[in-house]
A and B are shown apart, each in its own frame.
Chain A
Amino acid sequence: MTPSHAVRAMHGVLLREILRFVHQRERFLAALVRPLVWLFVFAAGFRAALGLSIIPPYETYVTYEVYIVPGLVAMIQLFNGMQSSLSMVYDREMGSMRVLLTAPLPRWYILLCKLLSSTLVSLLQVYCFLAIALLVGVQFPVAGYLAVAPALVLTGLMLGAVGLFLSSLIRQLENFAGIMNFVIFPVFFLSSALYPLWKMQESSELLYRLCSLNPFTYAVELIRFSLYCKWNFEALGVVMVSLGAFWALSLLGYDPKRGLTHRQTG
């Protein structure tokens, strides 16, 4: 693979993903409606019930809406990773993934292209969501909107790699809904997306420990700190290690020795 071939192939995959995203307006709306419902309905109700103390990176009391936004941003990326995974299983069933995997490119590079394209789409969704949140008064420091971009790339890659790995495990499209329920809900609720971990610890030490072991918690915290232009090295480390681990598992999952497809007639 020459550098020019690599660039052209990457360009092709990224452009295709964006074109598909633009053509599938329902997917874009669904990606935005979900976190907006949480922001406008769930957060409004919880604001009264949940008192938040001053915890880093916040330097003063913040409204629940402000607290929940980084979690919702991570939720957008989590759903996007799963959506991308679903699209890969669908593509594989329908055949277009075969075209990609039989292209004259190393398989790791093909998967990297898919991962980057999924992350790029998640960035578009996240910035649209942050713009709407800003319109309703949920705002962050101006520099935070820029500072969060590298963090979003990392968390998008990590959650995309989770999706990639899952797509390698799912042999048939029909099995996807079950996997989604077993992944998305536990991952989202057992994290600091909706409530700070100290609150969780007050009610259950076991749940607190589970949340502390969940890489999604660290993705949320990395986004939260970055929005305030602050470092969180622990979150950064966990996200990077998780990214490496899920990427390695994805490569293993798409190794032709394991067989890409379930048996087909012919």
Chain B
Amino acid sequence: MTGSVEKDARRIQFETSPSTERDVKPILSVRNVSHAYGRDKAVDDVSFDVRSGRTTMLLGRNGAGKTTLFSLIVRLLALQHGTIQIAGQPIETAGARQAHMVGIVFQQPAIDLDLSVRQNLTYYGRLLGLAKDDREERMKEELIRLELSERAEDRVRVLNGGHRRRVEIARALMARPRLLLLDEPTVGLDPATRRSLVSFLHTLAQDDGLGILWATHLVDEILPDDTVVILSRGHIAAFGTPQDIMAQATCRDFGSAFEALTQPDRAE
């Protein structure tokens, strides 16, 4: 009985997203997705959309199911239940064109420390199948945009954490994606670097019209215009703008609302 009430509440919250947004076709659509490791449910009946030009923050404590959800979206794990669509097409039937639409920054660093920044980006450009001229042009563009031009020939090993993250973001943007997936991209960075990265990524969504899905457990990374999906114990505890969520939790600040809506999650 209680479970049914919770599900209804979640559905109501999900459908309360502004009607203008509902009219725009989402770049990522997650519907009724569940995933279990054996008997342990990591993601439970999760539904939400990510729209172009918007940053959607997937907020949850450690173990809430964020990484599992990311792994499902990028097909590192197979869907057990529900549907995930990118640009209107189910991911199971996705081809290379759809994969080109997605840029990914993983929680764990995924660049080769022994190669230079340029070699890492060239490698990824080749995986994308980009011709040399196109590859060089995109690489130059991203190196400038992420202020890495002067470090292009440096081995990644000698870069600090903030620069390494920028290389990862440059790599993800080389695909010129329509959807950018960020799995805790600021983990391990100092506060100043974190602030600058948060600001850069939010601007990117607006300027490039990218849909961004950003998993985090840090409430200070959320801006007032963001759409927030709060994940707790694998299911959606709240959905909406930060203002909506504070109103729902009857809290005056977002941090308290997050605390009130979530409980400590089990370790994954």
Contact = CB atoms under 8 A, between A and B. Distances in A.
A23 B119 CA distance: 13
Contacts of A261: 71, 76-77
Interface string B23-59: 0000000000000010000100000000000000000
B108 interface: yes
Contact of A104 (B99, B111, B114, B122): B99
A102 B75 contact: yes
A260 B68 CA distance: 11
A2 B130 CA distance: 11
Contacts of A5: 96, 129
Contacts, number: 127
A101 B76 contact: yes
Contacts of B76: 98, 101-102, 256, 259-261
A94 B109 contact: yes
A257 B75 CA distance: 9
A24 interface: yes
Nearest to B110: A95
Interface residues of A, number: 38
A256 B42 CA distance: 17
B19 to A, nearest CB: 32
B67 A12 contact: no
Given A94-B109, A265-B267, A266-B66, A2 B115 contact: no
A16 B129 contact: no
Given A12-B127, A104-B100, A263 B268 contact: yes
A256 B77 contact: yes
B128 interface: yes
Given A102-B75, A256-B76, A256-B77, A12 B110 contact: no
Interface in A207-261: 255-257, 259-261
Interface in B62-90: 62-68, 70-71, 74-78
B173 interface: no
A259 B110 contact: no
Contacts of B99: 102-104
B141 to A, nearest CB: 19
Q: Could you tell me the dominant secondary structure of chain A's interface residues?
A: helix
Interface string A7-47: 01101110110011001100000000000000000000000
B78 A16 contact: no
B129 A104 contact: yes
Interface string B85-121: 0000000000011111010101111111011000100
Contacts of B64: 266
Given A8-B129, A16-B115, A103-B99, A94 B110 contact: yes
Residue with the highest number of chain A CB atoms closer than 10 Å, among B42, B104, B106: B106
B183 interface: yes
A100 interface: yes
B111 A265 contact: no
Contact of B96 (A1, A24, A100, A256): A1
Interface string A85-99: 000000001111011
B195 interface: no
A260 B78 CA distance: 9
Given A20-B114, A266-B68, A94 B108 contact: yes
A181 interface: no
A105 interface: yes
B123 A16 contact: yes
A4 interface: yes
Given A9-B129, A256-B75, A19 B115 contact: yes
23 contacts: A9-B127, A12-B124, A15-B123, A23-B114, A23-B115, A94-B108, A95-B107, A96-B111, A98-B74, A98-B104, A103-B99, A103-B128, A104-B96, A104-B175, A256-B75, A256-B78, A261-B71, A264-B68, A265-B62, A265-B67, A265-B267, A266-B68, A266-B215
Interface of B: 37, 42, 62-68, 70-71, 74-78, 96-100, 102, 104, 106-112, 114-115, 119, 122-131, 171, 175, 183-184, 215, 267-268
Given A20-B114, A95-B106, 19 more contacts: A5-B129, A6-B129, A8-B126, A8-B130, A8-B131, A15-B123, A16-B123, A24-B114, A95-B107, A99-B104, A101-B76, A104-B99, A104-B127, A104-B129, A256-B77, A256-B78, A261-B71, A264-B67, A266-B63
**A-B pairs, 9 with minimum CB distance:** A12-B126, A266-B67, A5-B129, A95-B110, A104-B99, A95-B108, A104-B96, A103-B127, A257-B78
